[in-house]
Amino acid sequence: MIVQFFSPRRFEFSFGSRWRASVFLLAIGLPGLLVAAQTIRIALAATLGESTAPADLRRALAHDPANPRLHQRLGLLHSYFMEDRDPAEGVKHFRRATELNPDGAGYWLDLAEAYLSMGDTASADAALNRALELSPMTPRFRWTAANHYHQADRLEAAWPQFRRFLELSPAYAPATFQLCLRASGDPQLIFEKVVPSGSNPRLKLMYVGFLSAHGQIDFAYRVWVQTVANAPPFPFAWARSYLERLLALGRDHEAVRVWKDLERLGIVTPPSTEEADNLVFNGNFERPPLKAGFDWRSRAFPFLEFDFQDATAYQGTGCLRLDITVKNNAAREALYQIVPVAPNQTYLLKAYVRSENITSDSGPRLRVLDPACPGCLSVSSETTVGTTSWHPVSLNFSTGPQTRLVRLSVWRARSRTFPTEITGSFWLDAVSVKAASGTSEKGALTPAP
């Protein structure tokens, strides 16, 4: 009776049901197993693909043969990094990468560079063109194309690529200008064909600065004139280095013209109608100084503090306040401005000053000198000491036959009388330099009518 508990018929039914269930589960699970196996192979290929060993990359490629990145890495190794380099093998892998991903611009660029290394110019051209079609806004592609044409002495094809590269990457302008000028030797050609045209003057002004820094100062001024003729306003910083170089080289005529252009464009504030005859720029300290060109410049000393917009002005809304915070007996030029003047002319310098607790008998004063010939012209106003209210200081000075610029400064001479050390505060406002009334052509003063 116990034996018959599992009857043959019941056993056959149970076995058949379990077999069908197993087949069903296998049918469901097999695709998952295949996917898992494929995932493992791809993960293994990705891990091996980070290696720089050719054997690992080949193993990775065996696991994932349709991966263009693996072909790219093998191409790079064969073309550039292996001891026994094989450029032809590199080209083969780069070409395979483009076949697997024909829209991958980077693969086409690698292929182009590999062709270039082998001297295959025609194939390189085709690959470069395809890379540029796929990624026209990538600076590296434009740089590669420009250098390809440059090295092949196909300069007419190179110039548009250099121009587009500069539009995309202005920071590389100096290196680009240097390479292009070395290739052509013609700054006008580079201005016409490489420097981007259009209303934005930034790269044109960078070219001006580059030319002036590399001995092409005359042509730099020609480019400046062309650039600013119809330019919109631009930041003063774009012109600063060129203007400073003109002054450093003694090109005062051009520096003055550049400054006038900046005033015309509203980049620096032109003088008001009432101040049209005043040669001092920003003499009322109504604006923070540019510290360049023909504006005020201050020098940093550990014992001096500047406030260019102190509210206790003699006139207007602001003035200069200078605080001497640490006792010292140094001769110092705290503040100065380069002022354009005419030769053989007499001028009147006038300003308003006040002081508080200036301890030395040698306090701040105004000084005028000819920076090109200090022995020819160096005069100073009376000093300001103690505590004083607003009061005028003035002096007359005459320029020599070669004088084109003077240096107007707030200056303090060393004291030789006890107490020699100085502290305290000094204010300055309403500074002007004007041609003296009735000056003759030779610079001698004549009575005013």
Q: What is the pLDDT of residues 15-73, one digit of tens each?
A: 455 555 555 555 555 555 444 444 545 454 455 546 567 777 778 788 788 889 988 88
**Is 1 inside any structural domain?**
no
Which of 85-94, 359-368, 430-439 has the weakest average pLDDT? 430-439
Average pLDDT for residues 110-115, to the nearest whole number? 92
Give whole-number Cα distances, 209 to 77, 190, 216, 219, in Å: 42, 14, 10, 11
Read off the pLDDT band of 238 (50, 70, 90).
very high
Q: Model confidence over 244-271: pLDDT tens digits? A: 999 999 999 999 999 999 999 999 998 8
Judged against a pLDDT cut of 80, whether residue 345 lies above it is answered with yes
Structure tokens at 384: 């300001």
**Is 368 inside any structural domain?**
yes
Share of the chain above pLDDT 70, in %: 86
**Radius of gyration for the chain, computed over Cα atoms and rounded to the nearest angstrom:** 39
Helix, strand or coil for residue 397? Answer: strand
Read off the pLDDT band of 126 (50, 70, 90).
very high
- Bridge-based pairing of strands 378-380 and 386-398 is unpaired
Which pLDDT does position 8 carry in this prediction? Answer: 44
Phi, psi angles (nearest 5°) of residue 362: -115, 95
Phi, psi angles (nearest 5°) of residue 440: -80, 175
Query: 407 is in which domain, residue-wise?
Result: 297-435
**Is 330 inside any structural domain?**
yes
Q: Model confidence over 220-236: pLDDT tens digits? A: 999 999 999 989 999 99
Q: Model confidence over 277-310: pLDDT tens digits? A: 999 999 999 999 999 999 999 987 888 899 999 9
> How far is the C-alpha of 132 from the C-alpha of 322, rounded, in Å?
59
**Is 440 inside any structural domain?**
no
Task: Report the chain's mean pLDDT, rounded to a whole number.
Answer: 86
> How far is the C-alpha of 369 from the C-alpha of 354, rounded, in Å?
23
**Is 343 inside any structural domain?**
yes
Average pLDDT for residues 387-410, to the nearest whole number? 96
Of the candidates 432, 382, 390, the one whose C-alpha atom is nearest the C-alpha of residue 412 is: 382
Average pLDDT for residues 97-109, to the nearest whole number? 93
**Is 382 inside any structural domain?**
yes
**Is 448 inside any structural domain?**
no
Judged against a pLDDT cut of 80, whether residue 433 lies above it is answered with yes
Judged against a pLDDT cut of 90, whether residue 326 lies above it is answered with no
Q: Which parts of 169-304 fold into alpha helices (H)?
A: 173-184, 187-193, 202-213, 217-228, 237-248, 252-264
> How far is the C-alpha of 193 from the C-alpha of 143, rounded, in Å?
16
Question: pLDDT higher for 394 or 22?
Answer: 394
- Angle subtended by helix axes 139-151 and 105-117, to nearest 10: 20
What are the DSSP calls for 340-376, one per residue? E--TT-EEEEEEEEEEEEE-SSS--EEEEE-TT-TTT
Q: Give the CATH number of the domain where residue 110 resides.
A: 1.25.40.10
Average pLDDT for residues 117-128, to the nearest whole number? 91
Which pLDDT does position 127 carry in this prediction? Answer: 93
Phi, psi angles (nearest 5°) of residue 332: -140, 145
Which pLDDT does position 402 carry in this prediction? Answer: 93
Give the domain-ending residue among 136, 155, 173.
136
Average pLDDT for residues 104-121, to the nearest whole number? 91
> How far is the C-alpha of 112 from the C-alpha of 50, rounded, in Å?
23
Question: pLDDT higher for 20 or 138?
Answer: 138
**Is 201 inside any structural domain?**
no
Q: Give the CATH number of the domain where residue 397 resides.
A: 2.60.120.260
- Whether residue 282 contacts residue 431, with contact meaning beta carbons closer than 8 Å, is answered with no
Helix, strand or coil for residue 6? Answer: coil
How many CA atoms does the CB half-sphere of 305 hold within 13 Å?
Answer: 8
> How far is the C-alpha of 386 from the C-alpha of 354, rounded, in Å?
9
Judged against a pLDDT cut of 60, whether residue 162 lies above it is answered with yes
Question: pLDDT higher for 447 or 293?
Answer: 293
Give the domain-ending residue among 136, 166, 194.
136
Which pLDDT does position 446 carry in this prediction? Answer: 33
> How far is the C-alpha of 157 from the C-alpha of 142, rounded, in Å?
12
Work out how many domains the chain is built from and give that number.
Answer: 2
Give the domain-ending residue among 136, 160, 177.
136
Question: pLDDT higher for 441 or 83?
Answer: 83
